[in-house]
Amino acid sequence: MERVSARNMRQPDEPTISAAGLRIIKLLVGTPPRTVSEMIRATGVTRTAVTEQLNELAAAGFVDRTTERLPGRGRPRHLYSATQAALLLLFASNQRLLVPAIWKAIDEVGGRRMTEKVLHRTAVNLAEHYKRRISGRTPAERLEQMSRLLADEGVLVDIDEGDDGQLAIRKRSCPFISMYESSGAVCCVDQEMMSEVVGVPVRRTACRHEGAACCVFEIASTNGR
């Protein structure tokens, strides 16, 4: 499809983790909340360096900070703990093994029919998650609203419009990537979920697993756009 206009969805700042930041995350995961002083002793670096890393990790959503008031007239102290996002960051590679193994187990226990049912229910449940927050009346409006919601969740997504009036959604990153296995069945979840949300059939015109730069899904424009 020739793209004559593209409206890039606003993306949140992409968090980047330095080696020093990753070291602090590993100190915090699975332990009681720690103070800056405790992390200075554990890492052997300066207070300034630890504080800078904690501020960056907190801004990226990997660290939570709480304040504890001490007895007497002493100054309150800050305590830092790892978030669930930090856990996911540490075990991202494990997810690439675990999730396909779950799909394989479902197929072995219930066969292809069971796998298809699970994928369908997954798509429906995900669609409900987005439909509750979408007010657009036309497919085009709903597609753009869903794209903004995806962008707010961290998905890299663009909306393109061709000279024939067709709309396409380019998903440059994929929240389903850890669910992918050789059959590619999970890609149908994305397609079915978008069809449910938009209210008209959506078709995949490009796939990253078939050599394309990213997955592209397309719907026909309507007169109500």
pLDDT bucket at 181, cuts 50 / 70 / 90: low
DSSP 119-187: HHHHHHHHHHHHHTT---SSHHHHHHHHHHHHHHTT--EEEEE-TTS-EEEEESS-TTGGG--TT-TTH
Higher pLDDT, 1 or 76: 76
Cα–Cα dist 185/45, whole Å: 48
pLDDT in tens, 5-31: 334 433 334 456 788 889 999 999 989
pTM exceeds 0.85: no
- What pLDDT is attached to residue 37? 93
CB-based contacts of 140, cutoff 8 Å, min separation 6:
167, 219, 221, 222, 224, 225
Cα–Cα dist 117/112, whole Å: 9
Identify whether the C-beta of residue 65 lies closer than 8 Å to the C-beta of residue 24.
Answer: no
- Tell me the one-letter amino acid at 133: R
pLDDT in tens, 88-124: 778 766 667 777 788 788 889 988 888 889 889 999 9
pLDDT bucket at 134, cuts 50 / 70 / 90: very high
**43-52, 154-163, 176-185, 186-195: the lowest-pLDDT one:** 176-185
Q: Output DSSP code: residue 207.
A: -
Q: Please tell me whether residue 214 adopts helix, strand or coil conformation.
A: coil
CA distances from 138 to 94, 141, 150, 220, 221 (A): 40, 5, 18, 11, 9
Q: Of 150, 209, 156, which Cα lies nearest the Cα of 179?
A: 209
- What pLDDT is attached to residue 99? 75
Q: Of 150, 133, 139, 129, which Cα lies nearest the Cα of 215?
A: 150
Identify whether the C-beta of residue 140 lies closer than 8 Å to the C-beta of residue 199.
Answer: no
